[in-house]
Chains A and B, each alone.
Chain A
Amino acid sequence: MSALAWGAVWGLAAGLVIALAALIGVWGERKVAGRIQMRIGPQELGPFGLLQTLSDTVKLVLKEDITPRAADVRVFRAAPLIVFAPIAMSFAVVPYAAGFVPLNTSVGLLFFMAVPAISVIGVLLAGWSSRNTYATIGGLRAAAQMISYELSRTLSILPFVLLAGSMRPLEVMDAWRWWWIPLTAIGFVVYLISSIAEVNRGPFDLPEAESELVAGYFADYSGIRWAIFMMAEYGGMVVAALFAAAFFFGGYLGLPGVLGPIALILKATAIVVLMIWVKWTFPRMRPDQLMKTAWKVLTPMALVQLVIVGAVIPWL
């Protein structure tokens, strides 16, 4: 029973971490966006407006949870959870500290790519079950986008599997050397762009596109279910940043004790800020540009990265 109990504890912990990350993330996003647009951002509640998101959360939880009359009720209600759960699961294979990863599996890196892929289904079902044209278009766009960028994202982390000769997160971290940073620089660019696309954030937010699709696949969601979609988005962003901080930038390595995880979190925070920065700097892409970027730019770049690493390995 202990394995199941531990699983439940980890699941709860992941849920709390994501909730906290979303709270801080939304605040950070509004602050960064404010600075970029020469505003101040939230400042009324608490120091630096830190409590703003907390009060927004209370508002969201208390809001009525509306289900459209024409919706497929059961699918409509389940969809946010199908989007959220895989994202929460992917937190389990990030190496947080020396010798510590919640799920130490031999296929950790593949797990990190494969499990969030399930949330595409949740997005599609959310769009479909709303019985709403905007939502369906959003769902379809999301599916096309997420499948396309999954490929380049997976290719971009393959260099680590080649370099370490293992997909086990801790073995990759043990094999990690500082010169992997310049060696996998192209891979990081591909990974960062694909990750932004994978969590449907600007400039890749065509599935949501609030100005044309009025939030796309979650147009009909309100209250707590809408909040779960937002948590999935921020959770996806945070876990992508944690993963990048660990594998592309060495995570906790080189620092003793508790400083290691702190370094990991700081690196991840920097990547999250970069993602927010990108969102508020670039305009939304057109669907054809989106597909072109995925198939004609990022995938070849990831393959070039793979060739570079493949050429280096025999000399090690």
Chain B
Amino acid sequence: MTVASLIFILLGAVATIGAVMTVFARDVTRMAIGLGTFLVAVAGFFVYWGATFLGVAQLFVYVGGVLVLVLFAIMLVHRNPEGSPHLETRHDVSALAVAGGLFIMVVMALRDDVPASVDQGISSGPQELAEAFLGPMLTHFEIGGVLLLAVLVAVVVIVGGEER
């Protein structure tokens, strides 16, 4: 086992711990801490793959911006004196199926291509990144945009659901 793969496994472990904490923590601030841990680990992955710009941008935008806003919102929201509300979902089985399916897809896709070395020819600087996004990767970029739009619509549906 090389140092590089050790770092990779360590980052993976940190990301997993963060993700598990985000989902299972009882306290909403703990969830935010879990999310922060996960986001930092993702930034670490970007740096690991040589995409330094992306990693630092991830830190700046998500950890330094979005996460701070999340914590800010949590602190401004009135704390319920009767304890946290009971969170449950009607879709736990289907959610588990989707998550399991995605996990199997990722494992299948990476099975023969376990990250062995850091240098995979991924663009590092901002210029290469811009060229890739507006050139060969344009379709992927747009699909990512559509996914984010879908997430936004989903948020509106979930939040608006209570009022109907």
Query: Which residues of A line the B interface, CB within 8 A?
Result: 1, 3-4, 72, 75, 105-107, 110-111, 113-115, 117-118, 120-121, 124-125, 127-128, 136, 139-140, 143-144, 146-147, 150, 167
Contact = CB atoms under 8 A, between A and B. Distances in A.
Interface stretch (B12-20, B69-77, B83-91, B99-107): B69-77
B124 interface: yes
Contact of B57 (A105, A114, A127): A114
A140 B71 CA distance: 9
7 contacts: A72-B27, A75-B29, A107-B53, A115-B59, A117-B63, A118-B63, A118-B64
The CB with the most chain B CB atoms within 10 A, among A72, A117, A140, is that of A117
Contacts of B56: 107, 110-111, 114-115
B133 interface: no
Contacts of B57: 110, 114
Given A120-B68, A124-B68, A147-B68, A167 B60 contact: no
Contacts of B53: 106-107, 110
Interface residues of B, number: 26
B71 A121 contact: yes
A105 B51 CA distance: 11
B125 interface: yes
Interface string B26-61: 010110010010001000000000001100110110
A125 B33 contact: yes
The 4 closest A-B pairs by CB, nearest first: A117-B64, A114-B60, A124-B71, A114-B59
Given A106-B53, A140-B72, A144-B72, A120 B64 contact: yes
A117 B76 CA distance: 20
Interface in B115-147: 124-126
Contacts, number: 76
A121 B44 CA distance: 18
B59 A118 contact: yes
A169 to B, nearest CB: 13
A124 B65 CA distance: 13
Contacts of B124: 106
B75 A114 contact: no
Contacts of B59: 114-115, 117-118
A264 to B, nearest CB: 24
A210 to B, nearest CB: 21
A298 B76 CA distance: 27
A110 B47 CA distance: 14
A66 B110 CA distance: 48
Contact of B75 (A72, A111, A124): A124
A110 B27 CA distance: 33
B44 to A, nearest CB: 13
Given A117-B60, A124-B75, A3 B65 contact: no
Contacts of A127: 75
Contacts of A128: 29, 71, 75
Nearest to B4: A3
Given A107-B52, A110-B53, A114-B64, A75 B33 contact: yes
